[in-house]
Amino acid sequence: MERYEAKRAAIIGGTSGIGLATAKMLLDGSARVLVTGRSQAGLDSAQRELGNGGGVVSSDARSLTDIDALASRVKAEFGSFDLLFVNAGSAFSPSRAHDPGDIRRDVQPEREGTVFRGAEARAAD
């Protein structure tokens, strides 16, 4: 039996970097994996790297509509999930000053929507 056999994972922000590396690791361990991203180029690249074993979905973590659609897709494909990896985020340049409004505007919506919808999805399981 493979380490992650029969496990189902959704990785929000999984089309590059740590998210994509995690998806590959899980797939190598026989998990079923679905990753999200926003750019078409990133989605296409991730699908090529993951092959047929991984699902790739266009979804914006700042959009509750997209998160709801993702939850429906996960439910349709997996029934439920064992792992939700929220890897989406914003980067801030150290070359300019930031104020708390930057963080509230750019980071908070990504986290709030994902956390609230993720909790709802698990509660419905």
pLDDT digits (tens, 9 = 90+) for 89-109: 655 555 566 666 665 666 555
Q: Cβ(13)–Cβ(37) under 8 Å?
A: yes
Q: How far apart are CA 67 and CA 95, in angstroms?
A: 32
97 CA to centre of own chain: 29
Beta-carbon count within 10 A of 19 CB: 22
Residue for token pair 């790739």: 56
12-68 pLDDT, tens digit per residue, is: 999 999 999 999 999 999 999 999 999 999 999 999 999 988 999 999 887 888 888
Tell me the domains of the chain and their CATH numbers: 8-124 (3.40.50.720)
pLDDT of res. 43: 97
pLDDT of res. 91: 58
pLDDT of res. 49: 96
Helices (H) and strands (E) in the chain, counts: 5, 4
Q: How far apart are CA 99 and CA 76, in angstroms?
A: 41
pLDDT of res. 94: 59
- Mean pLDDT for 81-87 is 89
75-116-10-106 Cα dihedral, nearest 10 degrees: 140
Question: Which one is predicted more confidently, 22 or 110?
Answer: 22
70-81 pLDDT, tens digit per residue, is: 888 998 999 988
Q: Cβ(69)–Cβ(9) under 8 Å?
A: no
